[in-house]
Structures are given as structure tokens and as C-alpha cells.
């Protein structure tokens, strides 16, 4: 049989661990959100648009 003080200590340790996990999850979500707002992420889209524009089909020159 476990003493009530042991049960209380285990419960408190479990609660602290759950709070720590929640805090880590919140920090990870904030970091992902901050990374998504960086302006550097637009560059690949701009480069892809420029590449598509440069490779677009052009009218063939008429031979004279």
C-alpha cells in the first residue's frame, strides 16, 4: 500500500511534467509561426515565377 504523501508527490510530479510538455509545445508552435512569417520564404516563389516567365513559349520569328 502506498502512503498518501507518495501518491501526492507522484501526482504533483506528473502535473509538472504535463505543464512542461504544454509549454514546450506552445514554444514550438510559436517558433513555427515565426518561421512562416519570414520574408525569405517568398524568394523561391518569385524565382519560380521568373523561371516560368523566361521559359514561356515565344512566337516563332517569321522568315523573310
Segments in the chain below pLDDT 50: none
**Would residue 5 count as lying in a domain?**
yes
Residue 7 CA to chain centroid, in angstroms? 39
Assigned C-alpha cell, 41: 520564404
Tell me how far apart the terminal alpha carbons of the chain are, to the nearest angstrom: 102
Question: How far apart, in whole angstroms, are the C-alpha atoms of residue 26 and residue 20?
Answer: 10
Closest CA to 20 of 30, 12, 8: 12
Residue 12 pLDDT: 95
Assigned C-alpha cell, 51: 523561371
**Would residue 43 count as lying in a domain?**
no
**Would residue 60 count as lying in a domain?**
no
Assigned C-alpha cell, 8: 501526492
Provide the domain count of the chain.
1
Domain ranges, residue 26? 1-38
Residue 43 pLDDT: 66
**Would residue 27 count as lying in a domain?**
yes
Amino acid at each position: 500500500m502506498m502512503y498518501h504523501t507518495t501518491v501526492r508527490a507522484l501526482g504533483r510530479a506528473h502535473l509538472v511534467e504535463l505543464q512542461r510538455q504544454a509549454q514546450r509545445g506552445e514554444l514550438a508552435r510559436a517558433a513555427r509561426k515565426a518561421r512562416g512569417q519570414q520574408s525569405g520564404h517568398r524568394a523561391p516563389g518569385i524565382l519560380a515565377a521568373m523561371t516560368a516567365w523566361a521559359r514561356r513559349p515565344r512566337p516563332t520569328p517569321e522568315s523573310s
